[in-house]
Structure 1
Amino acid sequence: MFILTYGEYKMSVKRINITIPEKNLKEINEFCATEKMGKSQLIREATAQYIASIKELKKKEQRRKDIEWA
């Protein structure tokens, strides 16, 4: 287990292994080199944004269904 520090926030992290197509890995490596960021940081930020967007879509869909039933 590792401890990452972001400003005043500390979080424990776990190492994982993933399988990814070579094309995606190439894009990730190029992006990270251009943006001067690590792959782990990119994956953390991308997954956080993806999960947040899916949750928001589900909330909107539920609100739409609630309005239809009202």
Structure 2
Amino acid sequence: MLVQVQWLSYCKESELDRPELFKRIDELNVEDRIGNDIEQLKEEVKKEIVKMYDVANEEVQIIKCHIENSA
């Protein structure tokens, strides 16, 4: 299923020697087995983001997450 997710991370170092807010909106494909459980969906999406962008799990915060379609 296609999921649109808005997420942020503080992992990017800035010129001020402190983390910067890094915010993205992505569309990801996740397995249909999750169903409509939003908490499980957020966890699965977070795993995909960690794999795709090579960031630490604890540095990712999901802001919005919703199912675009089930195809």
Larger % of strand: which?
2
TM range (shorter): 0.3 to 0.5
Q: If the length of structure 1 is used for normalisation, what is the TM-score? A: 0.32
Q: If the length of structure 2 is used for normalisation, what is the TM-score? A: 0.32
> Which structure has the higher relative contact order (CA within 8 Å, separation 6+)?
2
Larger % of helix: which?
1
